[in-house]
Structure 1
Amino acid sequence: MKPTDLVVTPMGLRFLGRVFPCTIGRGGIVPPGRKREGDGATPAGMHRLVGMLYRPDRLTRPADWALPIGPFDFWSDDPADPDYNLMVRAPHGFGHERLRRADPMYDLILITDWNWPQAEPGRGSAIFLHQWRRPGAPTAGCVALSRRDLLWIAPRITHQTRLIVPG
């Protein structure tokens, strides 16, 4: 592991010598082969960060490679969708999650390469790092942090930064 890796530990998310409180999926951590769509689990493993999305109406651009979230941007979470586990645009006839939410949870999203780019249907979609609902509240499988900590981390990650979730 490198200091530039984001490492989930029992104490929180370790990054650049600091530890940030974080939450994981309500289903706990599962081996990659047991991860399933909708199980609420966070998959163990070494995950590359492959994208950063942000709400330009709520935040300034956190990094030069961050892309804005528009009002018609969704994430497909329907295993029957040919675009499963990809960002899609409305109108979209398959199950999806709206990225531009009324709450601030997805104002800033770091996208991992979980089950991407060639998604295996049903293996789980959208393992993000995002803002938590509240301290200690579990996620649907993502890793969540306070807004302040996420905003501190985002401009400091590089294309080599990985999310490491020990099994």
Structure 2
Amino acid sequence: MQAAIGRSGTSAFKREGDGATPIAAMKLISGFTRGERIRLPQTPLSMRRISGDMLWCDEPKHAAYNRLVTQRVGAPFKPSHEEMKRADGLYDVCLVMDWNITSRKRYGGSAIFFHLIKPGYQMTAGCVAVSLCDMKRLLPHLRKGTLVKVLG
């Protein structure tokens, strides 16, 4: 199965913003989907529908670093973040891997997801990405705790 990784390759010493995919065995925690844009097979993995107010904080100095945050109406979330509801479709299926989540360290890297690929298998900002066809093939076999291994 073909996949894309970070634009800086892999790293055993992942740091925020370095563009590298961590060399690690990362457990899947849960996932997100754009249910209105895509129909997925059943999966044992807990999947949550993405809404327009969902953001992922990637500001190392913020208390919500590497966490999902909900933007309140009339009170924009100002720290650096990623919008989960993306126009480009990369997060139409977005699985959360346990990189720097369970035991979080500032600047240890954030938003390391397993998501859909850009056309032409372009590199990611540090995530692992596969085609929609391959993701649909994998989903029925994925559950919380499934290991995604990135080798150096």
TM norm structure 2? 0.90
In structure 2, the partner of 1:10 is none
Give distance in 1, aligned partners of 2:60 and 2:144.
28
Give distance in 2, aligned partners of 1:68 and 1:61.
12
Query: Are residue 110 (structure 1) and residue 95 (structure 2) matched?
Result: yes
In structure 2, the partner of 1:79 is 60
> What amino acid does structure 2 have at the position aligned with 1:127?
I
Q: Secondary structure at the match of 2:18?
A: coil
Q: Superposition RMSD on alpha carbons, in Å?
A: 1.4
Q: Secondary structure at the match of 2:85?
A: coil
Match of 2:140 among 127, 149, 155: 155
In structure 2, the partner of 1:89 is 70
> What amino acid does structure 2 have at the position aligned with 1:120?
K
Displacement of 1:45 in angstroms is 1.1
Give distance in 1, aligned partners of 2:144 and 2:67.
20
In structure 2, the partner of 1:99 is 84
> Percent of aligned pairs with the same residue?
37
> What amino acid does structure 2 have at the position aligned with 1:95?
S
In structure 2, the partner of 1:44 is 23
Give distance in 2, aligned partners of 1:127 and 1:93.
21
Give distance in 2, aligned partners of 1:52 and 1:151.
13
Runs of 4 or more, structure 1, over 4 Å off, are: none
1:108-133 CA deviation, whole Å, 9 max, x = no partner?
01110000134211110011111111
In structure 1, the partner of 2:114 is 129
In structure 1, the partner of 2:105 is 120
> What amino acid does structure 2 have at the position aligned with 1:70?
S
TM norm structure 1? 0.82
Q: Secondary structure at the match of 1:135?
A: helix
Higher strand share: 1
Report the number of matched residues: 146
1:86-119 CA deviation, whole Å, 9 max, x = no partner?
0111131211000001111110011100001342
